Amino acid sequence: MGFINDQHHINLILEGNTNEFSVLVNQYKDLVFTLSYKILKSKEEAEEASQDTFVKIYRSLHKFKGDAKFSTWIYKITYNTCLDKLKKCKEINSTIYIEDFNKHQVHVMEDVLNNIDEKERNQKIQECLFLLPSKEAFLLTLYYFDDQSTEEIAKILDCSANNVKIKLFRSRKKLASILKRQLEPEILASYERK
């Protein structure tokens, strides 16, 4: 759904046609749930956060100014709703030890991933994302699976684009470390010799 269509539905809702909100919910419900699940790592918690997110969206729709894409605004509300939920639960992030990857090792990981079937690669990455701390899994999902630019992510996270790049770099290193442990050693060995 494009910016013009989103704005059309928003205008109708603000004019009193509350039934139009279901169009926006249907359009964005999968996105909101997926992002919530990446952060909260529980289906039930993600469903609850999704509902809370849409309630917040509805209540603050009049605050949407159109400075960013509507989807970016939704990402931001989803992210903040999930963070609030995590604070309430006082989530303890597990420590992930990052291997110090040099450029060659990063290229080896990329080669391995590029030569795996796309469906299998995406499944393997999704499994590994689940092992990352919530905020990092969310960040990588936005960038790689939802094709959000660093500028859009910066708006969602309320930080600079440079800060997003640093966070992405660190998160990718953690993901690479997890992927290396998850992929079969003989596959990696065959690519390291190249």
Q: What angle do CA 173, 176, 180 make, to 5 degrees?
A: 145
Residue 96 domain flag: no
Residue 69 domain flag: yes
| Domain endpoint, select from 89, 124, 143 | 89
Query: What's the whole-number average pLDDT of the chain?
Result: 80
Give yes or no: residues 115 and 183 share one domain: yes
Give yes or no: residues 71 and 114 share one domain: no
Q: How far is CA 8 from the centre of its chain?
A: 26
Residue 95 domain flag: no
DSSP secondary structure code for residue 133 in this structure: -
Residue 42 to residue 63: CA distance in whole angstroms: 30
- With bands split at pLDDT 50, 70 and 90, how would you rate the model's confidence at 100? low
Look up the pTM and report it: 0.62
Residue 150 domain flag: yes
Residue 17 domain flag: yes
Give yes or no: residues 113 and 184 share one domain: yes
| CA-based nearest residue to 82, from 43, 40, 113, 44 | 40
Flag whether pLDDT at 79 surpasses 70. Answer: yes
Tokens standing for residue 132: 């990352």
Residue 40 domain flag: yes
Indicate which CATH number applies to the domain containing 37.
Answer: 1.10.1740.10
Residues 140, 171 contacting (CB under 8 angstroms): yes
pLDDT at 102: 56
* Top-confidence range, 63-72, 83-92, 124-133: 63-72
Owning domain of residue 57? 3-89
Tokens standing for residue 51: 């509902």
Flag whether pLDDT at 97 surpasses 60. Answer: no
- With bands split at pLDDT 50, 70 and 90, how would you rate the model's confidence at 92? very low
Question: How many independent structural domains does the chain possess?
Answer: 2
Give yes or no: residues 78 and 111 share one domain: no
